[in-house]
Structures are given as C-alpha cells and as structure tokens.
Amino acid sequence: MNRLSRPLSILLIALLAGCAQLKTPAPTDAAKPATQQDAVKEGDDKDDTVENEAKLPKLALTPSIFYGVLASEIGAQRGQVGSAAATYLDLAQSTNDPRLARRAAEMALFAGQVKVAADALTLWVKLDPESHAAREQLFIVLLRAGRLAESRPLIEEVLMRDPSRAPAVFVQLARLASRQSDKPGTFALVRELAERFPALPEARFALITVAAEVDDQATVDAEFDKLAKIAPKWDLPVAWQVDRLRRGNVDASLAFLKAELARRPAAGIDLKMAYPRLLVSVKRYDEARAEFGKLLKPYPDNADLLYAAGLMDYQLKDTQNAEKLLSEALKRGHPEADFLRLTLGQLAEERGDATAARGWYESVASGQHKLQAQLRLASIDAEAGFIGPAIARLEAVNASSNDKIALAQSASQLARQYKRNDLAERVLDKALVSYPNTPELLYERALVHEIRGNYAGAERDLRAFLIEKPGDPVGENALGYLLANRTQRYKEAHALIARALKADPENATILDSMGWVLYHQGRLKAARGYLERAWNAMPDPEIAAHLGEVLWKLGQRDEARALWQKAAAAAPDHPVLKDTLKRFQP
C-alpha cells in the first residue's frame, strides 16, 4: 500500500439506475414549452389583424423606427434577445403598432423574460382586440408568471370561441399549475373548467395536477380511474405521477405504476420499462431482471429493452445472456453503439477470448468510449508480452490535453504493472515536457522515482505537486511518508502527516503514516494506537507489516506473528510484508 499508489480506473455499469426517470411522452395537442416557438401559428384565421393589412396603423418609416428595428434584429442575431425585446416593446408603445408588440412578445418569450412578454402581449391584445393568437399567448404567459386570476377571462374566451383548443389549454393548465401561488383558487378554477369537458383526457389530467398541489388524493385517485377508461393508451399522466411519487417515495411510485400497468395493457413500451428501471433504482435487481424478461417476450426486437435487459444481466454476472442481448441491441440499431461495442469487448475478455475482444475494441469509433477501448487494447497487448507496443499505442492516441494527461498516467501504471518502471519514467518525462507542472503527472512520476530508488527525485516531484496543489492531504501524506520511510527527517515528516490527518482524520492510509512516523520517533504506544485504527479501517498487508513491527518492539511477539501470518495468507507476495518477515524471521 504505497502512499503514492492509485488504482487503475474501471468502467462501472450504472446506466440502468440512471434511467429510472421516465421518458415523458408527448401529450395530444399539447403546447410546446413557452419559448419563441410558443407563438401560435397564424394563417388559419383571416380576421387576425396581423394578417389584415386594412386595420394596421399607417406609419411613416421614421429613422427611429428603422434603426430601432434594424438594431433589434441584429442584436437578436448576436444573442442579445432580451435587449431586442425591450427595444421592440418601446417602439410598439410609441407607435401603437401590433406588429411591433407581437415581435416584442416573440423575443421576450425566447429570452425567458416573462414580465416583458406579458407587457408586450397585453399591448398586442389592446392594439388588436380580435387577435386570437395574442390572447392565447397572453394567458400562457400569465400562467407562467403565476397570475391565474388575470388569465381566467382569456381562458374562458378561448374555450368558448374554439372548443377544439381545449386539449392544449388544459395541458398548459396542468403544466403551469405548480407556479400559481393561490393553490386552492387554482384547484377551484380548473375543477370548474374541467367539469365542462367530462370526457376530455387533458381536462382530467389538469385536474389531477392541481388536486395534487392541494393534497386532494381522493380527486387524484378518482381522475386516474376515469383516465384509465377514457384514455388507456395515454401515458403522460401516469408518467407524470410516477415521477412525482418517485421523488418522495419510490415504493409508492412502484405500487402506483404496477397498478396502472395492470389496467392499461396497451400502455407504451417506455412506460412499461419504467417499472423494472424503478426496481433497479432501489437495487431490487433480481425482480428487475425478471420484469425485463417478461417484457422481452412481447417486444423481442426493441433495442432499448434489449439494451436495458443486457445491462441488467451484466450487473448480475450472467455474462453469457448479457452478451447475447447486447449484441442483439447493437444489431437493432441502439444509439449507444460504441458503448455496446466496448461492453461486448469486456465480456469477450471476461470469457478469455482476446481475439474477439480486440475486434470489438477496434470497432469503437469515437469519443470517450474510443479512449477506453484503446486502454483495453493496450492492456491486451501488454498481457501478451508486448509492453512496448502497448505504451506506443497509448502515446499515439489523438486526444484532448486532459485525455492525453490521463493516457500518460494510464501508460505509466500499465508499465509499472509489468515491472517496466523505466518505460513508465520515460512516458512521464515526455508528458511533463508537453504538460509541465501537471499535478497528476508529478504525483505519478514521484511514485515511479520511489520504486526505482530515486528518493530525491520523488521528493522533488512531490514538492512540485504541493506547489500546484498547496495543502492537498494526499500530497502532504505522500511526502511525509516518503520522508519517514526513506530519510531520518522525522520531525518534518510528522508535521506534514499531521496536517494531512487534520484534513482527513479517518483516512486509513494517513493513520498508517502517522503510526509509522511515530514508530520511527520511538513513540511506540502512540504508534500502536494509530496503526490499530488504520488496520481496523482497512486490513491492508502494509499496515499489518507496520503494526506487527510495533507489536514486536513492544514485546508482543505472538500477537505480531499472528497478524503477519493472517496478512501473508491473504497477500503472500506483498513486498513490504515479505521484507518485514525477512527482517524479523518470526
């Protein structure tokens, strides 16, 4: 357990739990989020005054109007949309032109400036009382601003004038209910409106969302009962409730979804897959695997399902079935193709087929997955005895500066693994020329220097590391341990380790360092206390070597022998432990 060592990074399978949040299906006739695209498309209504030239004000194109419009459009193209909206609103107020008010509203919506958008739309409605688009946009913006009372007349008018717009109106009410400060008032209004459309699914959904805001569970349950009958294929309300419950109580979310799926056999595959994904999120892996298996029977060709089920099998160490499912997901065109190739390469390695693994890794096309594939290919090369080509492969990878630094670290670690510390030092020397004073490379080279017996070089690199990362407890502990272990500068070593321990008081490695420097200072009882804490926290053979040596010096030789024997049984080739046993010959 060298103070400087760090484990090689490994690829972890954590994607399934991350997928516990549902993909929310698009509602029927639902309006899009309120941005510039929220503006209602014109052209179907010939009476809309934006299209009715006869009703527009007759304005002379003054320099102030011309330059105001020109500057606003140029500013918007350069990303200054908020300023452009304000300029357009000023122009609309001074000219009473609804076209300018409309353009101000569009830009304000795009910039997310709700107040400016509301002012612009209010002016547009005033200047063009017959514009349906202006009214619809205004009530949406007022809802976004939490001004439900002001929006009610507009909502009433839209529903009365064009009942076909009711689905979109109710979806907006559902989406924006949480923004209203008057929760009971919102609930009363939406319930009143929804009663006029008893068979409209969107009305039922809107009522569910506002009932949830006032904790009226009875209404929520009753409306879901209605939705299961009138819209059994509409997944959005169920997905919304699953996500809402999941944030507070996953078990409640699971129970609700299971019940809804039971009475919605025609639900979409995304909603059905949400159930095993929720099981994964609470680590009920065996149940999740069984549920994925059930879904594969009716949906054997679904790439997302094959992908999720394959990862679940991988997690549960069923590598044979995982390989089968993930290969099929790749054939079915799953978008995570490179990740699948990388994973299939790992599966081939696990079953000892280096040739197949190499084929998969070489087929990884781009990005971070390609970087991981090159690391695996280098590892295969090294294991086959070609350590030089393995290092050359990593050095040749075309990557960003950060990735180049990580590759140099990995190349050094690989070289050390195969006892080619000379190669490791060469790689790091070269990398530090390109990326001088990089802390990670300095730390890694300090380790290589120590292994090669260049303790002065190790100390120099660790001090350079601490210049780049002052006060870093890992660096201070590493330097303190080096001084305690390879010099007699125990006072300086103790000060460094003490600072590291203050920053990270439960770190077993630092506790071991403190015990070791105290041992060298002759403070055996104090050393024993720290080393026992370190051993209890992390039963590592190097800690066992140190603790056993202290016990031996304290005269507790039987206890020291028992500890050494236990550690040697677990790690018979550990160099520090072997050296200790050789010195004491217990």
Q: Which of the 8 DSSP states describes residue 390?
A: H
Integer Cα distance of 471 and 12 in angstroms: 31
Average pLDDT over residues 93-106: 82
- What's the predicted TM-score (pTM) here? 0.71
CB atoms within 10 A of CB 445: 30
Position 1 scores a pLDDT of: 43
Position 132 scores a pLDDT of: 72
pLDDT > 70: what percent of the chain? 89
Residue 82 has pLDDT above 90, yes or no: no
pLDDT > 90: what percent of the chain? 67
**What does CATH list as the number for 232-335?**
1.25.40.10
CB atoms within 10 A of CB 305: 24
- Dihedral in degrees, nearest 10, Cα atoms 522, 528, 531, 532: 180
Residue 100 has pLDDT above 90, yes or no: no
Average pLDDT over residues 542-565: 96
Q: Which of 23-37, 402-416, 510-524 has the lowest mean pLDDT?
A: 23-37
Kindly report the CA angle at 397 between 396 and 403, in degrees rounded to 5?
A: 125
Residue 416 has pLDDT above 60, yes or no: yes
Residue 254 has pLDDT above 60, yes or no: yes
Q: Which of 119-128, 211-220, 236-245 has the lowest mean pLDDT?
A: 119-128
- Per mean pLDDT, which of 102-106, 143-147, 434-438 is the most reliable? 434-438
Phi, psi angle pair for 50, to nearest 5°: -65, -30
Residue 347, burial from CB neighbour count under 10 angstroms (0-12, 13-18, 19+): buried
Q: What is the pLDDT of residues 13-66, one digit of tens each?
A: 333 443 444 443 344 333 333 333 333 333 334 444 444 555 666 667 777 777
Q: Long-range contacts made by residues 435-441, C-beta under 8 angstroms, separation at least 24? A: 435/401, 435/404, 435/405, 435/408, 437/464, 437/467, 437/468, 438/405, 438/468, 439/465, 439/468, 439/469, 439/472, 439/475, 440/405, 440/406, 440/409, 441/405, 441/408, 441/409
The residue to which tokens 């003054």 are assigned: 62
Average pLDDT over residues 162-187: 86
Contacts of 144 (CB under 8 A, 6+ apart): 34, 114, 176, 179
Higher pLDDT, 38 or 292: 292
Q: Which of 100-104, 189-193, 216-220, 488-492 has the lowest mean pLDDT?
A: 100-104
Integer Cα distance of 232 and 260 in angstroms: 9
**Inter-CA distances, 105 with 33, 69, 85, 94, 99, Å:** 15, 14, 7, 16, 10
Residue 473 has pLDDT above 80, yes or no: yes
Report the mean per-residue pLDDT for the chain: 87
Average pLDDT over residues 253-273: 96
Higher pLDDT, 453 or 174: 453
Residue 198, burial from CB neighbour count under 10 angstroms (0-12, 13-18, 19+): exposed
Residue 271 has pLDDT above 90, yes or no: yes
Residue 73 has pLDDT above 70, yes or no: yes
The b/e string for 12-43 (b: 16+ C-beta within 10 A; e otherwise) is eeeebbebbebeebebeebbeebeeebbbeee
Residue 336 has pLDDT above 50, yes or no: yes
Average pLDDT over residues 503-520: 97
Position 348 scores a pLDDT of: 96
Q: 11: pLDDT confidence band, cut at 50, 70 and 90?
A: very low
Coil vs helix vs strand at 100: helix
**Sign of torsion over alpha carbons 343, 344, 350, 354:** negative
Residue type, 265: P
Position 106 scores a pLDDT of: 79
Average pLDDT over residues 389-405: 94
Phi, psi angle pair for 57, to nearest 5°: -65, 145
Residue 482 has pLDDT above 80, yes or no: yes
Residue 527 in contact with residue 516, Cβ under 8 Å?
A: yes
Position 74 scores a pLDDT of: 81
The residue to which tokens 């979409």 are assigned: 268
**Inter-CA distances, 220 with 62, 102, 366, Å:** 58, 38, 48
